Amino acid sequence: MKRNPSIRQVASVAGVSVATISRVLNDKGPVRDSTRDRVLAAIESMGYVPHSAARSLSTRRTMSFGILLPEVHGEFFSELIRGIDLAARRSGYHLLVSSSHSDPAEAQAVLHALHGRVDGLIVMTPGNGKVSPPTRFPLGVPVVELSSRIPSKLNDSIRIDNRGGARSATEHLLDLGHRRLAMICGPPENSDAHDRQLGFAEALFDHGVALDPALLLPGDFRELSGFRAGSAIADLQHRPTAVFAANDAMAVGCLSALRGRGLRIPEDVALAGFDDIPIARFLTPGLTSVRVAIAELGARATERLLAAIEGGSTSPRHHEIVPATLVVRGSTSNPTNPLRGNEP
């Protein structure tokens, strides 16, 4: 017997037709329980592994999702992939994951490469405001867009309330009595970063606090840019009393730089981030952050994609905004009297 016998050999041993083997494997069509048990026993004893390409021809499904992200580095993306993977596995799907490195041309190349290999796509392109035509997605492939500022009308979409979340973090710092606030911004071409900066500016304006352009520090959503921004803040003669970082990775870098310069968090500088990645609660002090249920976001995108695959092109499209809520921990207090956060 070959290492992987053919479906005809399995059918011969089980005493059934090839069509019956196919019905058992695909769980489609009427099969008696006794026959099913005999087929499964033959499959197990012979070590038969269905050929995925042949199976996809009969079912018209690859049982795979394509996942296109701007990056795969960092806790946010690992949590997002974890949420997608757990939900996909429950439905028997596997993932093909790729990164565009925030390059629209690379994103297009990845989408082209995935065409025909997947049953659907989950695509995060937060910087795609300039590349929004729906024709850039493979025709006939269900797509769920994450964090797209202008999602295609042909696809489902889910995005985070970045503006409202950033506003709540900034208002928290203002309510504590801070009036000189800095922000570590994200990549200028990224729509999530853009909306978080808008929320920050709106909160300052509504509280009658002038926005100092010198306190808008550049960042790229990575720890090193947060560290550089924190070092720049520590060197200022007139330092801000509070810093809002556009994501937690930069907040972690900023925290390291400030403490390395002998500054206390939150007594000398209060610090807040965005995303509430898992490590945020384990820092010392715990990081105040705007919580996005990242794994749940991935699971929700998967559920929407499954519904789109089952419903086909005639099913209505869904566009959803996921709320972001502030979690207060020990990294924020008023300038003179540290407060305990509301969560460990």
The pLDDT score that the predictor gives to residue 295 is 92
pLDDT over 90 percentage in the chain:
53
Burial classification of residue 74, based on how many CB atoms lie within 10 Å of its CB (0-12 exposed, 13-18 middle, 19 or more buried): middle
d(CA 113, CA 325): 37
For residues 45 and 14, give the distance between their C-alpha atoms in angstroms, rounded to a whole number. 11
First to last CA, the chain: 60
Report which DSSP code applies to 287.
P
Instruction: Mention every residue, 6+ apart, whose C-beta is less than 8 A from residue 252.
Output: 223, 226, 273, 279, 283, 287
Q: Work out the pLDDT band at 19, boundaries 50, 70, 90.
A: confident
On the question of pLDDT at 342 being above 50, the answer is: no
Q: How many residues make up the chain in this entry?
A: 344
Mean pLDDT is lowest, of 5-14, 20-29, 81-90, 162-171, for 20-29
- Helices 294-311 and 75-90 cross at an angle (nearest 10°) of 40
- Could you give the count of Cα atoms lying within 13 Å of 25 in the half-sphere of its Cβ? 22
CA distance linking residue 218 with residue 259, whole number of Å: 20
Closest CA to 202 of 154, 152, 165, 257: 165
The dihedral over CA atoms of 29, 32, 37, 38, expressed in degrees to the nearest 10, equals -100
DSSP tag of 138? P
Spatial strand order of the sheet with 143-146 comes to: 94-99, 64-69, 120-124, 143-146, 156-160, 319-322
Six-digit token string for 305: 């994609």
Here the tokens at position 209 are 């606090």
At 238 the pLDDT is 93
Range in 46-50, 142-146, 153-157, 167-171 the model is least confident about: 46-50
Q: Which structure tokens are listed for 167?
A: 């506003």
Average pLDDT, the chain: 86
Q: Is the pLDDT of residue 29 over 80?
A: no
The string of pLDDT tens digits covering residues 85-100 is 999 988 888 999 998 8
185-231 tens-digit pLDDT: 999 888 899 999 999 999 999 999 999 999 999 999 999 999 999 99
pLDDT at 339 over 50: no
Residue-level pLDDT at 218: 97
Q: Are the C-beta atoms of residues 149 and 338 closer than 8 Å to each other?
A: no
pLDDT-derived band at 337, boundaries 50, 70, 90: very low
Nearest to 161 by CA among 296, 322, 327, 326: 322
CA angle at residue 57 from 89 to 145, to 5 degrees? 45
The predicted structure's pLDDT at residue 197: 97
pLDDT of residue 318: 85
The pLDDT, as a whole number, for residue 45 is: 87
Query: What is the predicted pLDDT for the residue at 73?
Result: 82
pLDDT value of position 135: 40
Buried b (16+ CB within 10 A) or exposed e, 3-27: eebebeebbebbebeeebbbbbbee
Residue 203, Cβ density class (10 Å: 0-12 exposed, 13-18 middle, ≥19 buried): buried
pLDDT of residue 136: 66
Distance CA 257, CA 182 (A): 15
35-87 tens-digit pLDDT:
989 988 988 888 877 655 455 544 466 789 999 998 888 889 999 999 999 99
Q: How confident is the model at residue 131 (pLDDT cuts 50, 70, 90)?
A: very low
Separation CA 1–CA 273 (nearest Å): 60
